[in-house]
Amino acid sequence: MTITPLMPVYPRCGFRPVRGEGAWLISEDGSRALDFATGIAVNLLGHGHPHLTKAIQEQAATLMHVSNLYGSPQGEKLAQRLVDTTFADTVFFTNSGAEAVECAIKTARVYHQSQDSDRFEIITFKNAFHGRTMATISASNQEKMHHGFSPLLAGFKYVDFDDLEGAEAAIGPKTAAFLVEPIQGEGGIRPASEAFMKGLRALADKHGILLILDEVQCGVARTGALYAHELYDIRPDIMASAKGIGGGFPFGACLATEEATRGMVPGTHGSTYGGNPLAMAAGNAVWDVVANDEFLEHVRDIGGKLRASIEQFIGNYPALFTGVRGHGLMLGITMTQETRSFVAHLRDNHGLLTVAAGDNTLRILPPLNIDESHIATFIEKLSAGAADYQVPES
């Protein structure tokens, strides 16, 4: 037998973390790495945050799981807090971001079909990433995600990102909704323009279709707003949230207006583990920390300082870097070449964790509670990495 006990669907590297301390990960051999990847935008309070850890420990010792057949004081508390602080009127808790997007797709389809309409098509945008379930890979146009898994789920149209005219041209009699990331993460930290996002909202209203936002990566204070759509001064009908919402504990949420969820009645959807007490304790602890003006101002301030430091630094290496984009602490450094080998170089030789993304982009996703000392260390490591990086021969 040659297969590994862990199914070999990930190209796992030699760095093997066993412990975390704030913005640092420590490997089993004792080596330390500055974590500016945070599990791809998950550990938004870093590692071992005392308030989050205490909440999970106390809940684990009290009640870990019950069926959704029973009342949920813990879930009702977090749902009410999400409703009070966002556009939403109601929330469904999931186990992951992909399931949150799945819930959003089902909500949009049943919204129309509960009114005897046969609208089912979802217009999505090229280079998007919505997850790895059958529905969510079908929602993406990326061939690398489709290969080997046909037939895909029918009912998705792909349009160029930030192309409002293309989006309007794609609307037909079967169109049920738009599904869009306000800032593409996997696609290369590409923020949508304000005209595009406001235009999608207007088109949705004009044609009686729904606007679904995928804020799995860009939501939960990552951009310096509680959710990224606030930067565009629009409100969605449905939104998928996950990653940072649990601060490291795996869960997600589908948020929606009362109108958009009128087809979601008992029996239409469910989840065995979604919204269990342990997940809700984590979510409430995260919300305690992030859902206030002082914390969001910190993210905007420290994000601005990180961006300014990166912009000043990359000017020293014009052959390697071309620019910086993103908002808050969701930043992308665009490179002149494919980024995966540079990510590996920073990790293996300089103890700096980042994430590769599409469009030759280096994703910078630190914990949201970093300070200026972390920025200084990051720039020091990035500078050392750029100085001794040998571009691989193609």
Measured in degrees and rounded to the nearest 5, phi and psi for residue 279 equal: -65, -40
Neighbours of 214 (CB within 10 A): 32
CB 364 within 8 A of CB 354: yes
215 annotated as a binding-site residue: yes
What's 128-190 look like in SS3? CCCCCCHHHHHCCCCHHHHCCCCCCCCCEEEECCCCHHHHHHHCCCCEEEEEECCEECCCCCE
Of residues 54, 58, 96, 125, the one with CA closest to residue 246: 96
C-alpha torsion 384→380→307→290, nearest 10: 130
390 annotated as a binding-site residue: no
Kind of pairing, strands 156-159 and 121-125? parallel
Of residues 190, 142, 184, 185, the one with CA closest to residue 39: 185
97 annotated as a binding-site residue: yes
233 annotated as a binding-site residue: no
272 annotated as a binding-site residue: yes
DSSP states of 234-302? ---SEEEE-GGGGBTB--EEEEE-TTTTTT--TTS---SSTT-HHHHHHHHHHHHHHSSHHHHHHHHHH
221 annotated as a binding-site residue: no
Q: Which helix (H) or strand (E) holds 100?
A: helix 97-113
- Counts of helices then strands in the chain (DSSP H, E): 12, 17
Interatomic CA distance for residues 183 and 197, integer angstroms: 10
98 annotated as a binding-site residue: yes
Q: What is the CA radius of gyration of the chain?
A: 21
Which amino acids are annotated as binding site for N(2)-acetyl-L-ornithine, given as ranges?
132, 271
Binding site for pyridoxal 5'-phosphate: residue ranges? Answer: 97-98, 129, 214-217, 272
Annotated binding site: which residue ranges?
Answer: 97-98, 129, 132, 214-217, 271-272
